[in-house]
Chains A and B, each alone.
Chain A
Amino acid sequence: MGLLSIIRKIKKKEKEMRILMVGLDNSGKTTIVLKINGEDTSVISPTLGFNIKTIKYQKYSLNIWDVGGQKTIRSYWRNYFEQTDGLVWVVDSSDVRRLDDCRLELENLLKEERLAGASLLVFANKQDIQGALKPEDIVKVLNLDSMDKTRHWQIAGCSAYTGEGLLEGFDWLVQDIASRIYVLD
């Protein structure tokens, strides 16, 4: 049996949500994913390509794509846009100098037609660091209030280091996607 016929047998499972995690390098995407999955976060290398994790969350199965954010590989992001239900944009709230970069990359991403229907969760990560910008500040700097009114979005302060705020963020995202996609059950 060839690979393609095997592939076709695997139907998109019910209650599956596809989540794309992006953001500048060093923002904490991989740490967040491992943390919510209860895995060891003590040795994490910068992501060279991407990682996929399937995580059971409430009654849903989250298919999380964690894509590397180094400049060289940002051009690959667009390879992962297809069928994205939820977009998680991770910000290093202590990296004030690169917030401009961060805003521009996010703006570019949101122009993407294939992501038009995706719910957007912005994680203001690294809140455990003294002097990190607060979620309200991140909203201002990234200009989130002036986003297209049709976009469902939410900001959540978090620390992948302590785990604080992660579940609240994902709760919102999963509920928001569910209310759009699985509204009939």
Chain B
Amino acid sequence: MEGEDGSESQQSRHPAGTLDPATQKRHAAMIDRLANLHQSRLQQSAARSASSAASPAFESVAAFLTRFDESGRAVEAEIKRCRDLSVDPASAPSLKPELEKVAASIADLDRLVAENSYFLPTYEVRSSLKAISVLKEALDAANSELLPRKKFSFRNKTSKKDPICLVKEIEEEKGPSSDKRVLAAVRDSPGFRNKEGSILIKHFRVSEEEEGDFTLSGLNCCEIYLKGRLRALFIHRLTNCRVYAGPVLGSILIEEVNDCLLMLASHQIRIHHATATDFYLQVRSRPIIEDCSAVRFAPYRLFYEGIDTELRDCGLGEETRNWANVDDFKWLRAVQSPNWSLIPDEELLGTVNVSDVKEQCEDK
């Protein structure tokens, strides 16, 4: 590697003398550019290795795991050494700096995972974090057993109030006026709330600057149609509902839905506490589920006049196939989560055409 550094050695490898002057010139210019590029790469990689030698990007799961294991074992050994050290009173003064070094090593393990997490599978990230967590607990335990008790800081004393008292105080200090304002704000935010057996239709026809959020909450046995673009959508406590919605520029947050069908398009979709629900999605990043069971996924199949343009304007025009790349935050293992599945072809809905659905038939 070192031998390739200089531009001279590169130039000498080219038989430049046999070419016409114009070609020679272009050739020289190209070699110059390459040399510059090479030089800047070298500088970059030197800078990189100086600033993050502790966490090189391995880009290979096996190499990462080997390094992670080695480092993790080294930390364990260090903690053990500190414990051995503490037996001898003469080495007591060196104990604190030693333990601090262990803390630094653990912090670097954190960094190692963080900087490699972009290519690591979910499972490896989670299990590495778990391992680090265990090491931190071991260090905490060693700290509190081996070091003389730290003096409490002034601030700590003032905050050592009975937590129950603290909560009470906060509630009292919250004047009724502030409460009302917040509640008013809750009511004001646009949405369909607390309905049963209704058909709910909303068409957003606003300019980009006026885009807002919308909430669906406390709905039972309803059919909901949202046409047009939105910036954020909140869905909360739906039972036995069907929701067909146009593109959402930001994110959709879904909590506590059950026995529903949701057809949604958005940059991000987060699903918490859902059961027995089918999701037909178009989504730019990976959808995530947390505390869900029997949820199923399929691609978005909604149509109304203008939806293609709306999708494109929201950056949702391309099929990413991310509807099938669900991350389950409650499933630590590398094997498929039992909480979700894909909807089998024979059960898939065809395109749902909602062109004829108009706002005036609300609450039919």
Q: Hey, which bits of chain A sit against chain B, CB under 8 A?
A: 2-4, 6-10, 25-26, 42-46, 48-52, 54, 65, 70-73, 76, 79-80, 82-83, 94-97, 99, 111, 113, 116, 126, 128-133, 137, 140-141, 143, 145-146, 148, 150, 161
Please state if B182 and A140 are interface contacts (CB–CB under 8 Å).
yes
Please state if B232 and A4 are interface contacts (CB–CB under 8 Å).
no
Assembly CA distance A52 to B170 (angstroms): 35
Closest residue of chain A to B175 (Cβ to Cβ) is A140
Assembly CA distance A25 to B185 (angstroms): 21
Please state if A48 and B327 are interface contacts (CB–CB under 8 Å).
yes
Most buried by A among B126, B251, B270, B315: B251
Residues of A with C-beta under 8 A to B169? 146
5 A-B interface contacts by CB (under 8 A):
A8-B104, A46-B285, A52-B111, A70-B270, A130-B231
Question: Is B307's beta carbon under 8 Å from chain A?
Answer: no
Residues of A with C-beta under 8 A to B188? 131
Closest residue of chain A to B169 (Cβ to Cβ) is A146
Q: How far, in Å, is B75 (CB) from chain A's closest CB?
A: 8
Question: Is B133's beta carbon under 8 Å from chain A?
Answer: yes
Q: How far, in Å, is B317 (CB) from chain A's closest CB?
A: 12
Please state if A43 and B173 are interface contacts (CB–CB under 8 Å).
no
- Known contacts A96-B186, A129-B212, A131-B213, A2 near B132 by CB under 8 Å: no
- Known contacts A10-B53, A131-B213, A133-B185, A95 near B253 by CB under 8 Å: yes
Partner of B211 from A44, A52, A130 at Cβ < 8 Å: A130
**B interface residues, tally (CB under 8 Å):** 72
Please state if A8 and B101 are interface contacts (CB–CB under 8 Å).
yes
Instruction: Report the 9 A-B pairs with minimum CB-CB distance, sorted nearest first.
Output: A130-B212, A45-B285, A140-B178, A72-B329, A52-B114, A94-B213, A7-B54, A49-B125, A7-B108
Question: Is B37's beta carbon under 8 Å from chain A?
Answer: no
Residues of A with C-beta under 8 A to B213? 94, 129-132
Assembly CA distance A151 to B318 (angstroms): 47
Q: How far, in Å, is A40 (CB) from chain B's closest CB?
A: 11
Stretch at the interface among B2-10, B83-91, B155-163: B155-163
Please state if B174 and A143 are interface contacts (CB–CB under 8 Å).
yes
Residues of B with C-beta under 8 A to A161? 250
Please state if B290 and A79 are interface contacts (CB–CB under 8 Å).
no
Assembly CA distance A80 to B136 (angstroms): 10
Q: How far, in Å, is A37 (CB) from chain B's closest CB?
A: 15
Question: Is B59's beta carbon under 8 Å from chain A?
Answer: no
Q: How far, in Å, is A42 (CB) from chain B's closest CB?
A: 6
- Known contacts A129-B232, A131-B189, A140 near B132 by CB under 8 Å: no
Besides the contacts A8-B104, A71-B329, what 10 more A-B pairs have beta carbons closer than 8 Å? Answer: A10-B54, A44-B267, A46-B270, A46-B327, A48-B122, A48-B329, A70-B290, A97-B215, A131-B185, A143-B173
Q: How far, in Å, is B197 (CB) from chain A's closest CB?
A: 23
Assembly CA distance A54 to B51 (angstroms): 10
Assembly CA distance A25 to B288 (angstroms): 11
Closest residue of chain A to B325 (Cβ to Cβ) is A45
Residues of A with C-beta under 8 A to B114? 49-52, 65
Residues of A with C-beta under 8 A to B272? 71
- Known contacts A71-B290, A137-B185, A131 near B54 by CB under 8 Å: no
Interface residue ranges of B255-283 to A (CB < 8 Å): 267-268, 270, 272
Please state if A51 and B178 are interface contacts (CB–CB under 8 Å).
no
Closest residue of chain B to A136 (Cβ to Cβ) is B181
Please state if B54 and A26 are interface contacts (CB–CB under 8 Å).
no
Question: Is B284's beta carbon under 8 Å from chain A?
Answer: yes
Question: Is B346's beta carbon under 8 Å from chain A?
Answer: no
Question: Is B107's beta carbon under 8 Å from chain A?
Answer: yes
Please state if B186 and A116 are interface contacts (CB–CB under 8 Å).
no
Q: How far, in Å, is A39 (CB) from chain B's closest CB?
A: 13
Assembly CA distance A103 to B155 (angstroms): 21
Please state if B170 and A116 are interface contacts (CB–CB under 8 Å).
no
- Known contacts A6-B54, A49-B113, A129 near B74 by CB under 8 Å: no
Please state if B125 and A72 are interface contacts (CB–CB under 8 Å).
no
